Chain A
Amino acid sequence: MFIGAIGCEPLQLARVNLENSASIEVYRAHGGYEALAKVLGGMSPDDVIAEVKKSALRGRGGAGFPTGMKWSFVPKDSPKPKYVVCNADESEPGTFKDRYLMERDPHMLIEGMLIAAYALGSHTAYCYTRGEYRYLIEIMDRAIEEARAAGLVGANILGTNFSCEVYTHTGAGAYICGEETALLNSLEGLRGHPRMKPPFPAIAGLYQCPTVVNNVETLTAVPDIIKMGGEAYQKLGTEKSGGTKVWSVSGHVNRPGVYELPMGYDDMEKFIMEDCGGIREGRKLKAVIPGGSSVYIMPAEDIIGKDVKMDYEGLVAAGSMVGSGGFIVMDETVDIFESTKNLIEFYKHESCGWCTPCREGTDWLVKIFKRIARGEGRPEDAQLILDLCDNIEGKSFCPLGDAAAWPIQSAIKKFPEDFKRHLAPLAT
């Protein structure tokens, strides 16, 4: 599996291919913890936040919210303890970048968490990792111990008066716990239901204290931002979305893997056909889901010869989203009805059951898709499915409902043929 950068110097992936890259020695030998030293060496928390703002870093967890702004929401004066929580619940189908970042370069994440903690005046940082990634938790625990031994975690870090503990925490199999407020409930030992917003975590998060939740990739970007400065980092990408983005590429490409691209990397077609080695067995490209299962599906026509820019704005313009950067490529053999059925089954299984439309809607949709798959499809089902999606979208308690509706809506819109075939089984 390929792992590396294309079209830019590797930042996030600078060390991943080195011999035992997870060790603190290798990390330090390649500029590790210099950013932390720089920060503790004379930057004020506000300086740090300012740099991150300049970097135009946008959350890599899926929402794409400007990280610097998120950090600035945390009340400085609050007497309560503040928390930094790393969201390593990575469960979005098609997404596995966080996994390799943590596996190959855990110290980069620890450094990122520490800098965030410093910027927010926090002394405790948790890394909430999905339960299935047990081996990553072990890697992280080892790394934390190394860092502690080196005086980088715990009391008086690098001899300064900044102290911060970093802990790992395990999930136990629930996609919804990737949603930041559900994650916080889960971290408090409750069922992983999302919470009402407002209040936002920045005001009342973990244990009702000010909390910042950031994706792994977001936090691992921070050390480089500090080292090279916010502007330089932003310049790597576009004006609105700075820096580089790590994409998880899977499906019918010859070279699946983890690709670091500059934001605004142009031409998705080139990316697929050349960088990722093109479609397996020379088959034709049929569709791409560029940002993890929760985004609109893109048919080949919208990609070939359309030089689609790979950043937030570019993908929206092309009718989809960056999401979590889970880039799923499908060739002509794939039946989009089948692939859509597969995804809605995922969302049904992962719906937390809190709110009516998502709980009942996904259950109902799965039943319809299964019926159609049994060859009992009816022409009017398409309309029914679309209407149900419309009744879920925008009505659910958290975005999971929307995330379940979008792929279906776009699939039916973009691939009517694949559905017609199933909906009028007798006709064909």
Chain B
Amino acid sequence: MSQQFTPNNPLPQEAKVPEEIAVFSPEVEAEIDGHLAKYPPDRKRSAILPLMFIVQRERGGYLDPPGVAYLADRLGVRITDIWEVATFYSMINTEPVGRFHIQVCKTLSCKILGAGGITARCTEKLGIKAGETTADGLFSLSEVECLGSCGTAPMMQIGFDYYENLTPEKVDDIIERCRSGQMTNGVR
């Protein structure tokens, strides 16, 4: 997703608990504790990326303000610290994304083996260009850099799942399965 950060509901600078802050189920809290346990107690901040993935999974695919507030509070850092980190990493979304985030690799090996055709077919099927999200919020389409499937190019990733050795026909099928709800995995 775009690196540019678009301002939305601002929160206090200090890591003091803001008015609205996300809450999570005991299971999720346990998962979070699990990650925090990996690092020295005075180095909680190290868990910022793992926690961001969890929060964006739980908060509808992106770091919404309550989610950001939660992170700042949980890690004992300032809101700005969350922001500076979140906007640096391309997998952390600061804006909403579709339920199925289709990421087509556009880098050299995929490119010379037909990545262009894959993106084109997605656009055709979904009616959105790279960087856009369908009106129904079901799909987002991005072109991303090398995902390490050069040997099985062309490829795309939906959520965390790899789809390799693609052909336009396979793309049709995958998108259909997403639509018809047979595909359970995805962004969340």
Where the two chains meet, the residues of A that have a C-beta atom closer than 8 Å to any C-beta of B are: 1, 90-96, 98-99, 126, 130-135, 167, 169-175, 186-192, 207, 248-252, 256-258, 289, 293, 326, 328, 330, 333-334, 339, 342-343, 346, 349-350, 352
Contact = CB atoms under 8 A, between A and B. Distances in A.
B148 A249 contact: no
A250 B49 contact: no
A352 B90 CA distance: 11
B112 A248 contact: no
A93 B40 contact: no
B112 A330 contact: yes
Contact of B112 (A92, A191, A252): A252
B36 to A, nearest CB: 11
A363 to B, nearest CB: 12
A349 B146 contact: no
A91 B148 contact: yes
Contact of A346 (B38, B52, B107, B112): B107
B49 A170 contact: yes
A90 B150 CA distance: 12
11 contacts: A1-B151, A135-B161, A171-B89, A172-B89, A174-B88, A175-B145, A190-B45, A190-B85, A192-B89, A326-B150, A342-B108
B153 interface: yes
Given A174-B89, A192-B89, A256-B150, A93 B75 contact: no
Contacts of B84: 191
A-B residue pairs, 7 tightest by C-beta: A250-B150, A189-B45, A172-B89, A173-B91, A173-B90, A189-B48, A134-B160
B149 interface: yes
A396 B142 CA distance: 29
A173 B157 CA distance: 13
A132 B148 contact: yes
Interface string B52-78: 110000000000000000000001010
A139 to B, nearest CB: 13
A403 to B, nearest CB: 13
Contacts of A94: 108-109, 146, 150
A328 B110 CA distance: 11
B38 A132 contact: no
Given A91-B148, A94-B146, A170-B50, A339 B112 contact: yes
B64 to A, nearest CB: 17
A350 B106 CA distance: 14
A207 B145 contact: no
B117 to A, nearest CB: 14
B90 A250 contact: no
Q: Indicate the member of B38, B50, B88, B149 with the most A CB atoms within 10 Å.
A: B88
Interface of B: 38, 40, 43-50, 52-53, 75, 77, 84-85, 88-92, 106-109, 111-113, 144-153, 157, 160-162
Given A192-B89, A252-B112, A93 B150 contact: yes
Given A93-B108, A189-B49, A174 B146 contact: no
B113 A251 contact: yes
B151 A258 contact: yes
Nearest to A92: B146
Contacts of A99: 148
A186 B90 CA distance: 13
A342 B38 CA distance: 38
Q: Indicate the member of A91, A96, A328 with the most B CB atoms within 10 Å.
A: A96
Contact of B109 (A1, A91, A251, A349): A251
Contacts of B109: 93-94, 250-251, 328
A192 B46 CA distance: 12
B89 A173 contact: yes
B46 A96 contact: no
Contacts of B91: 131-132, 172-173
A126 B151 CA distance: 27
Contacts of B49: 131, 169-172, 186, 189
A91 B50 contact: no
Contacts of B157: 132
B108 A328 contact: yes
A147 B90 CA distance: 33
B156 to A, nearest CB: 11
Nearest to A250: B150
Given A250-B109, A328-B150, A172 B52 contact: yes
Contact of B90 (A126, A174, A339): A174
